[in-house]
Amino acid sequence: MAKNLKKFVNISFLRTVDLVLMRELLVRHEAQLRDFHVADFDRKPSEVRSVLQNFFAGPEERYPEGLTADLHRIAELADQNGLRLLLERAAALRKELIPKQEAEGHHLNPKHVALRTFLQHPDVFEAASDFLAIETRISLTEFSGPEENVHPEINDQVRKDFERGAGQLLVRDLLSSYCRIGWYEDDDELNVVVTHGEAIVITQRVKDGVEEPLTYRPVGHTNLAYDAVEGRLKVGGIAKALRPKMAEIFAATVLKRPGFFSGDGCQDLYTLEPIERRGLGFVMDRSFDPGISRAAIVEVEARKLPGEEGSPSPWSVVMRDRHNALQRLGNVAPRIGFGEYGYGLGYIIIATSIETGGKRPAKLRVKVKPPHTAAFKRHRFEGRIMELLRRNKLCCERKSGASAAAAE
């Protein structure tokens, strides 16, 4: 949700927005409008804009709930990043958002494009909203199947089977009957966005000077990204306890391989053992990629591991340093050592800088927490970050199908 609608429906926007579009938006909620009449659009344009300014200058409580929801959705895509997503999805769907005769001036303003797309090209808007959910998801749970190059064959029946399974899971655990699924294929990666209702929220609001209960169901997005070449699935946007269940539904319906993501070691993906073996002198190797100008471990969690019965209970300490958290840990707590010394690492955070050709490098923080978490914004540099982790031996080797079966 946009934090402040006033940044979207501001004076500058209301002075330039296409009044035909604003009328189309408000007509959607005509029956619930207060302090504004759709007939006002029949007045002179300058007068209409003045009435709109007065209406939107008031508090959100004056707007119909449906209008508030629409404005929040539009505002999420009403910036430069949203414009990029809308244009990309329009190109993929072969839709023209802005007619050539209007391809100048305020018609190319991100707010105007978002409003127009929401009203006139809902399929493009929904797809762009799905990709926004994909890009902003950081915390993902990963599952590695026992085989590589397991490619799905997507057809209408597969989509229906997955939607049925996902819907049943959501109804059972989130009490939501609403479920919309977007499918997006990109080379060997399949992205699936499940838009659904979250658990009901009950709060208080002030209406006409009186407190009253407000009950609503927020919208949530569950993201699945499957790399067919690596046989790896990423799931986010849903309670962690439900992610293995969603992965199993994907495996059974989309891959036709029940249990593909539930075998022994399917979530043993990351390790900090190379750092523990090397000790506090470990430094990330970035020499293989000249474009990565910085890769520094800036935060670590050191844990006292369980000892023999009767020994002190386990504990942990977090050390942060913007240059080298491992070195700082050694300086502050020189008695901490790994392996036979009884300490281990819980997680690390790596600060990276990646040259893009601009004035400043792009900065990205990566949290590695074994056995299955590498949290970072993946939409731009995922391949290079994953290679950084692999080169530094922080990614576990895949268990083959034979070894996984033997382990079971």
pLDDT band (50, 70, 90) for residue 404: very low
Q: Is the pTM of this model over 0.75?
A: no
Cα separation, 261 vs 143, in Å, equals 6
Exposure string over 92-113, b if 16+ CB within 10 A, otherwise e = eeebebbeeeeeeeebebbbbb
Mean pLDDT, residues 314-336 taken together: 90
pLDDT at 31 over 80: yes
Query: Among 45-49, 145-149, 293-297, which range has the highest average pLDDT?
Result: 293-297
Q: Say if residues 200 and 174 touch (Cβ distance below 8 Å).
A: no
- Burial class (CB within 10 angstroms; exposed 0-12, middle 13-18, buried 19+) of 203: exposed
Q: Say if residues 247 and 231 touch (Cβ distance below 8 Å).
A: no
Cα atoms found within 13 Å of the Cα of residue 158, Cβ hemisphere only: 14
- Which pLDDT score, from 0 to 100, does residue 225 have? 92
pLDDT, greater one: 320 or 3: 320
Cα separation, 325 vs 353, in Å, equals 17
pLDDT at 22 over 50: yes
Query: Among 173-177, 294-298, 404-408, which range has the highest average pLDDT?
Result: 294-298
Cα separation, 73 vs 102, in Å, equals 24
Cα separation, 78 vs 97, in Å, equals 14
Angle of helix 110-120 versus helix 19-27 axis, rounded to 10: 50
Pairing mode, if any, of strands 343-354 and 362-369?
antiparallel
pLDDT at 405 over 50: no
Angle of helix 19-27 versus helix 45-56 axis, rounded to 10: 50
pLDDT, greater one: 194 or 214: 194
Domains of the chain, by residue range, sit at: 5-135, 140-253, 273-391
Cα separation, 253 vs 115, in Å, equals 36
- Which pLDDT score, from 0 to 100, does residue 14 have? 83
pLDDT band (50, 70, 90) for residue 338: confident
The model's pLDDT over 110-127, given as tens digits with 9 standing for 90+, comes to 888 999 999 999 999 999
Give the length of the chain: 408
Cα separation, 55 vs 64, in Å, equals 12
- Burial class (CB within 10 angstroms; exposed 0-12, middle 13-18, buried 19+) of 150: middle
Q: Say if residues 284 and 295 touch (Cβ distance below 8 Å).
A: yes
pLDDT band (50, 70, 90) for residue 366: very high
